[in-house]
Amino acid sequence: MVIRIWQWSRGFLILTGVFLIGEFLSTWFGLLLPGSLVGMVLLTVFLFSGVVKLEQVEKAANDLLRHLILLFVPAAVGIMVYVKVFSGNAVAIVLNTLLSTVLVLSVTGKTVDGVIHWPNRTGKAKRHIE
């Protein structure tokens, strides 16, 4: 039981630390990207380089993702405060949401397609010898 708590705590501390490093870098260098996004990029680099092992952060990340909806409660309450502003611009907001969703899905689909077929394009596909 103590080992499981330690593993979760260690993962949470690593995730929090990477997030804080991202926030610091974003603020210090005046980046246009939010610190949380910089932190995610750093975490990806750390995972691929082996500085952070997936096993170290997997449990905490899965638990955080499982309860992700709770993190949206403050945003939903904040939206309710500005109902008048949103109701006056409802058409523009809906169109913007639909167009941005289509754009994100298209770019994501093309990116995934490119990654899946990358070995075939570069000639590095494994050849099966029969």
pLDDT tens-digit series, residues 1-15: 888 899 999 999 999
Domain layout of the chain by residue ranges: 1-66, 72-123
Give the per-residue SS3 of the chain. Answer: CHHHHHHHHHHHHHHHHHHHHHHHHHHHCCCCCCHHHHHHHHHHHHHHHCCCCHHHHHHHHHHHHHCHHHHHHHHHHHHHHCHHHHHHCHHHHHHHHHHHHHHHHHHHHHHHHHHHCHHHHHCCCCCCCC
Residue-wise pLDDT for 14-49, tens only, equals 999 999 999 999 999 999 999 999 999 999 999 999
The verdict on pTM exceeding 0.75 is no
